[in-house]
Amino acid sequence: MRIAINGMGRIGRLLFRRLLHKENIELVAVNDIMPVDNLVYLLKYDSLFGPLQEPIVLEGDKILAGRHKVKCFQESSPASINWRELEVDIVLECSGRFGSLEGATGHLRSGARKVLLSTTGSPEIPLLIYGFNQHQLTPDIDIVSPGGCMTNCTTHMLYLLQSIGIESAHFNILHSYTSRQELVDTAHKQFRRGRAAAESIIPVEIDLVQSLERLFPLKDKLAAVSIRVPVTNGALVDATVQLAQEVSVEQINNLFRTSANNGYKGIMDYTEDPLVSADIKGNTHSLIIDGSLTSVVGRQVKVIAWFDNEYGYTSRMLDWMEYWRGM
């Protein structure tokens, strides 16, 4: 399988690193408008995950890393790249700029066989969450949205709690700050996103509810807010769910523990260790249920789940590539 990455931000660069270790997958090209020597530097040294273990050098218009020779482009539009000539099977669309059907289709017109977004795309693009509804993928689907990191976490929580019955659910996502925020106070159309990310706890607007309502018949029963906190990695979902019947802490924990050890193995984990966000850096699961923090008041349940918003999410994108390859 021949892979190209469009957009070499946090997710694109982490995918580059991880694809170096994947057998039967060849990384053939990347595209980003940043200077290529700067890209090589950012691939070699990462503040979160440390230096790249493989040697990496720039040779002409190619990055040599491990066994891969990766052609570099600096095009602002996918239409300017001949993916067909490179025989690209899947473009990983990680720029955040081409999440609409028209934008993602540009990769197909340039010759790519398939496109995998790194976010929730427009409503016309199938929203398929790995471990939940990936079986809905059919050979004629050429563009897939695997959802975002928060959607991948909360989808599985909702699905399992639906077996009891959900009357309402509110998600509070405590999330590390991201590149869409600012390091010092400045102007931003969302005023709070313009405040210094490392200095404050900052509520931000998110589209999680719209994504979840595409997956579940829970219209007007969901709410969500994201609170950005001054750490560079990791997230915690604090879910408060009103259920249709009274339950115990033991019932809820057993539901998630059993699922993590069986059908959700590799997607969800369960722990009762006293974790903090630093402990989940590099964790490959979409969510880690923290059973030590589960609480119940009548029919109201609070469930806490951790996730690495970068490593866990790219793990699902890798799963998607393997799934597509196996079709």
Q: How far apart are CA 155 and CA 121, in angstroms?
A: 16
- Does residue 102 sit in the same domain as residue 194? no
Quick check: is 190 in a domain?
A: yes
CA dihedral of residues 129, 135, 140, 143 (deg, nearest 10): 10
Taking a C-beta distance cutoff of 8 angstroms, is the pair 30, 5 a contact?
A: yes
pTM over cut 0.85: yes
- For the chain, the 3-state helix, strand and coil shares in percent, each to the nearest 5, are 30, 25, 45
Q: How far apart are CA 167 and CA 271, in angstroms?
A: 26
Quick check: is 164 in a domain?
A: yes
Full residue range of the structural domain in which residue 219 is found:
149-309
* Beta-ladder partners of 304: 238
Sheet holding 62-65, edge to edge: 56-59, 62-65, 68-73, 26-31, 2-6, 90-93, 114-117, 143-144
Taking a C-beta distance cutoff of 8 angstroms, is the pair 253, 198 a contact?
A: no
CATH number, domain of 72, equals 3.40.50.720
- Does residue 112 sit in the same domain as residue 167? no
Q: Tell me if residue 22 falls in helix, strand or coil.
A: coil
Active site residue 149: yes
Taking a C-beta distance cutoff of 8 angstroms, is the pair 94, 6 a contact?
A: yes
Q: What is the pLDDT of residues 267-277, one digit of tens each?
A: 999 999 999 99
Catalytic residue among 72, 94, 149, 153: 149
Of 72, 95, 118, which closes a domain?
A: 118
The residue among 124, 150, 158 whose CA lies nearest residue 208 is 150
- Does residue 169 sit in the same domain as residue 288? yes
Q: What is the pLDDT of residues 237-277, one digit of tens each?
A: 999 999 999 999 999 999 999 999 999 999 999 999 999 99
- Does residue 112 sit in the same domain as residue 153? no
Quick check: is 66 in a domain?
A: yes
- Does residue 50 sit in the same domain as residue 173? no
User: Can you list the alpha helix ranges (DSSP code H) found in the chain?
Assistant: 10-19, 36-44, 101-109, 149-161, 208-215, 249-261, 311-325
Q: Which residues, 6+ apart, have CB-to-CB distance to 243 below 8 Å?
A: 161, 164, 165, 166, 167, 299, 300, 301
- Does residue 157 sit in the same domain as residue 96? no
Quick check: is 144 in a domain?
A: no
- Does residue 51 sit in the same domain as residue 169? no
- Does residue 305 sit in the same domain as residue 159? yes
Q: How far apart are CA 98 and CA 107, in angstroms?
A: 9
Taking a C-beta distance cutoff of 8 angstroms, is the pair 31, 83 a contact?
A: no
- Does residue 89 sit in the same domain as residue 27? yes
Quick check: is 123 in a domain?
A: no
Going residue by residue through the chain, which has 327 residues, state the pLDDT in tens, using 9 for 90 and above: 999 999 999 999 999 999 999 988 999 999 999 999 999 999 999 999 999 999 999 999 999 998 899 999 999 998 899 999 999 999 999 998 999 999 999 999 999 999 999 999 999 999 999 999 999 999 999 999 999 999 999 999 999 999 999 999 999 999 999 998 999 999 999 999 999 999 999 999 999 999 999 999 999 999 999 999 999 999 999 999 999 999 999 999 999 999 999 999 999 999 999 999 999 999 999 999 999 999 999 999 999 999 999 999 999 999 999 999 888
- Does residue 192 sit in the same domain as residue 269? yes
Tally of structural domains, the chain = 2
Q: How far apart are CA 281 and CA 269, in angstroms?
A: 14
Taking a C-beta distance cutoff of 8 angstroms, is the pair 147, 155 a contact?
A: yes
Q: Looking at residue 66, what is its pLDDT?
A: 87
